[in-house]
């Protein structure tokens, strides 16, 4: 069973080696995390806010849409598409939660 939550990653110690040994944790845009049922203790440790899958997907989609808009607006006059990709990387793509 997958659990969906929002928690702000503070850096070192947010997910420890011990946490990873207990279960699976995946991070997504918008500070959304998907964890298996064994990670309830980790969720409490990081003060995560539980979300439904639909709520979590809405957050991820909104953040990816922000990234896409920023990419679209990051233009340099006279720059070709391939030059933009070399400079800014590829345009962000849609993310679907598992």
Domain boundaries, the chain: 2-88
Q: Which pLDDT value is given to residue 80?
A: 95
Q: Which pLDDT value is given to residue 50?
A: 98
- The angle subtended at Cα 94 by Cα 66 and Cα 47, nearest 5°, is 70
User: Cβ neighbours of residue 67 under 8 Å, at least 6 residues apart?
Assistant: 29, 92
Q: Which pLDDT value is given to residue 70?
A: 97
Please provide the average confidence, as pLDDT, over all residues in the chain.
96
The 10s digit of each residue's pLDDT in 19-42 is 999 999 999 999 999 999 999 999
Q: Which pLDDT value is given to residue 1?
A: 80
CB atoms within 10 A of CB 45: 15
Q: State the pTM of this model.
A: 0.91
DSSP string computed for 50-66: EE-HHHHHHHHHHHHHH
The 10s digit of each residue's pLDDT in 58-98 is 999 999 999 999 999 999 999 999 999 999 999 999 999 99
Q: How far apart are CA 66 and CA 1, in angstroms?
A: 29
Q: Which pLDDT value is given to residue 39?
A: 95
């Amino acid at each position: 069973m997958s659990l969906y939550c929002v928690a702000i990653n503070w850096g070192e110690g947010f997910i420890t080696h011990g946490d990873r040994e207990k279960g699976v944790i995946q991070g997504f845009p918008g500070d959304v995390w998907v964890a298996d049922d064994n990670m309830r203790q980790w969720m409490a440790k990081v003060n995560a806010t539980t979300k439904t899958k639909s709520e979590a997907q809405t957050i991820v989609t909104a953040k990816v849409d922000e990234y896409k808009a920023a990419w679209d607006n990051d233009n340099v006059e006279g720059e070709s598409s391939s030059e933009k990709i070399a400079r800014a990387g590829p345009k962000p793509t849609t993310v679907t939660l598992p």
